[in-house]
A and B are shown apart, each in its own frame.
Chain A
Amino acid sequence: MKNWKKIATGTALVAGLAAVGAAWMAVKTFDTSRSAVADDTVPLAQFRSTDQAAIVRGEYVMRLGDCAACHKADFAGGYKIDTPFGSLLTSNITPDTQTGIGAMTERDFFNAVRQGIGSHGLLYPAMPYTAYTKFNDRDMHDLWAYLSTIAPVNKPIDENAGMHFPYNVRLAMAGWDMLFFDNTPFIADVTQGKDWNRGKYLTDGPAHCGTCHTPRNLLGGERSSAYLQGGRLGAWYAPDITPNPLTGIGHWSVDTLTTYLKTGSDDVAVAAGPMAEAVEHSFQYYQVDDLDAIGSYLKSLPASAAQPGQPMTPNAQRMKAAALTYEVNCSACHGLEGEGIQGMVTAFAGNRRMLTDDPTNLLHAMLMGARAPHTEARQTAAGMPSFAWKMNDQQVAEILNYVRNSWGNAAVEVKPEQVAALRGELGAHQKLAVPEPVSVK
């Protein structure tokens, strides 16, 4: 009996402490005092900014934050985001009172963008308020001015209808927020220069690089100990962007990074997948100074400790067979020597981004195809076709092992099982069945 009492008392004590802790976390996480600088009387539908400079700056802030990528060009939302917890539709953020955010005041808007507290409940962290929380007041104010100029669109969106229980309960996000949302503004590091601070502000805030490039834990929280060190992101791999010379951007100059972000290619690599979208919708609009600031900031970070795995020992006979496959299927665009087409088609020779231990991006491109971003500087937006229908898992693995281990490249082996796994995950085509070859009589 005594023991039971002890345990019960102990449990109560722990529970009490947890409750106090939770309450304190809740207060800290949902403290909206930062938004007090914004007006709380005029709803967006009634507001039309007359500050032309603020509107122009606000449009730039919208580009920095890449709002249009998810909320679509007309900001009426409806873009589907698949998460491990179900699918979400992005909201209508036009000034429409009924279906958009027309009823929000500027203060409500600050709370939503920077803290994930929306007009009908908590936002899901698919909206990167975890990064946008770093937006400074002026950028927020300018963004509000810009949004006031957007045409209202009446388009009802049921954002979380596709989420599984219990994730379709918005209040569940309160727990997530308390665990993973750091509700603090950007604080400049006085020991660093203006450009460095601008770079960090952009990287962590508007550009929300960590949303993809920082690996996440099982509950979808960013692992700050592995800040920008790369990780799987659905069926893509967001690489290490710390200055690790082997796995990261150690060998990229700031100019190279800027060119890549501005145009979608640094003449060797070409952005694809979610990065192509980020370049197309957002980075190409960045001023060069801002891109340089991001590059300088990234280059100043401590390099990750990652070491690439042991490269495979290629089998000469298989490499010879793969060379024919390469010539027939790949060389027209990627070049006989893996040189690619400058600014348009990815090069393999001397392209370290192709050699990551995790071959997900290469597999994805082989199985689903891919497209370069369409930017003002690079208009072609060259497309890579899917090879899922004409190559089996073994054949995809062999051609990738060929390009990853030719022309001076060396990388760990891509296994057919990895191809099979991603083929299943993506729902990519199986290789079409063809008549069996028959021995000659």
Chain B
Amino acid sequence: MNRREALFSLGTIAASLAVAPGLGAVELKGVPHDTQLSDDHMPQPAIRSGGFLVLSEAERRTLGALYDRLLPADEYGPSATEAGCLEFIDSQLAGHYGAGKALYLEGPIRPESELQLMGTAQFLASPLERYRSGLAALEAYAQRVDGQHLADLPAERIDALLGEMEAGRLDLGQAINSKGLFELLLQNVREGYLADPMYGGNRNMAGWKMIGFPGARYDYRPYIDRRGENLRLIPVSLIPAD
């Protein structure tokens, strides 16, 4: 904000103050006694009936190999797939997220100007479609270039592929934006690792334990004065298992 803009905004604030007193406060009467949550306010836990909802076995193998290089098992915690990130993303892709219900998916689209305006690439495809086409393209690339399934490649090779994707250099064909795909995978694997366990990932709260996040607690006043101390708070899920 430059000086001119700052002065203008001050003027706007002054004008709004001049109007505000006329509005007056409205007294709240007849507060609704019903505090039951309505269905559309309920969280929607992952549905787990044993199987996967949208990702095929081949897709899960490819995706699992990629996820586990982004979040490998080490002394701090389990790998992405061990923590349930595949179950998490399968459940998300099967629902509103996968269908892109919150996204505008109509044209027109001009990749250059969108990148400039939004700072990130925009897509007309839903997340589920992007996973489907992206995983197929990556698998095809591995078979063509390495002569193997992507899931069977050594870790260093997968790391190199991910590095190329991140840099936007991996050519997966005209239809696939490899940098955008990398960003999508990285974002979702983090979400799966750190979201509440009720959404299928963060199994046994491994992600929360790794970063020391105590979960869906409401109030930290009992601890506020205990500084510089590992509080060893037990992480809590929003909907504790039975």
Which residues of A come within 8 Å of B, CB atoms?
73, 276-277, 324-325, 327-329, 331-332, 336, 368-371, 374, 381, 383-386, 388-392, 394-395, 428-429, 431-438, 440-441
Contacts and interface: CB of A to CB of B under 8 A. Distances in A.
B84 A369 contact: no
Given A328-B217, A332-B218, A432-B42, 6 more contacts: A324-B234, A370-B33, A371-B35, A389-B37, A389-B42, A435-B200
Contact of A386 (B35, B238, B239, B240): B35
B43 interface: yes
Nearest to B44: A432
B35 A384 contact: yes
A277 B31 CA distance: 11
Interface of A is mostly: loop
Nearest to A428: B36
B106 interface: no
Given A368-B35, A385-B35, A438-B204, A431 B198 contact: no
Interface string B33-54: 1111100001101111000000
A328 B43 contact: no
B184 interface: no
22 contacts: A277-B33, A324-B234, A331-B222, A368-B34, A369-B34, A369-B35, A370-B35, A371-B35, A385-B35, A388-B36, A429-B37, A429-B42, A431-B239, A432-B42, A432-B239, A433-B45, A434-B45, A434-B197, A435-B46, A438-B84, A440-B204, A441-B78
A434 B35 contact: no
Contacts of A436: 48, 241
Interface string B202-242: 01101000000000111101100000000000101111111
Given A336-B222, A438-B204, A368 B36 contact: yes
- Counting contact residues on chain B (CB < 8 A from A), the size range is 35 or more
Interface of B: 28-37, 42-43, 45-48, 78, 82, 84, 87, 197-198, 200, 203-204, 206, 216-219, 221-222, 234, 236-242
A53 B36 CA distance: 43
Contacts of B238: 390
A325 B218 CA distance: 11
A391 B242 CA distance: 8
B203 A437 contact: yes
Contacts of A441: 78, 82
A385 B37 CA distance: 8
Given A432-B198, A438-B84, A438-B204, A369 B241 contact: no
Nearest to B37: A386
A220 B82 CA distance: 60
A370, A395, A435, A438 interface centre (most CB from chain B within 10 Å):
A435
Contacts of A369: 34-36
Contacts of B239: 389-390, 431-432, 434
